[in-house]
Amino acid sequence: MSKTIISVSKKNNSVWRMYFYELNEDSEWNFYTKKINRLLVWFYKLKKQKLYNNICDICGNQFRFYRKRFEKMPDQCFECNPDQLEY
């Protein structure tokens, strides 16, 4: 099961939550929110991924992707080059 964390934040009531997408059995991404332990905030922040935009080298379309820190930036969209998808 693949999980993509996009946000870790604290609301006024001082409850930390993380927001993430998870791939279900039908290969669809579902959005979830989950309370997390305050002591684990650093851990989830480390795993958090950012949304980037890029232009495909092959078809010229703009595409969006999530990238973990220090990961290589893809130059082609996932339709032209599905091999780039890593679950």
Does the protein bind Zn ion through residue 77 (CB under 5 A)? yes
Stretch that binds Zn ion, among 1-9, 22-30, 36-44, 51-59 (CB under 5 A): 51-59
Rounded to a whole number of angstroms, the minimum distance from the CB of residue 81 to Zn ion is 7
Torsion of CA 55, 60, 65, 68, to 10 degrees: -50
Minimum CB distance to Zn ion smaller for 47 or for 67: 67
Output phi, psi for 75, to 5 deg.
-100, -10
Does the protein bind Zn ion through residue 56 (CB under 5 A)? yes
Please name which of 46, 48, 41, 42 lies closest in space to residue 15, comparing C-alpha atoms.
41
Structure tokens at 67: 């990238």
Does the protein bind Zn ion through residue 41 (CB under 5 A)? no
Q: Which residues bind Zn ion (CB under 5 A)?
A: 56, 58-59, 77, 80
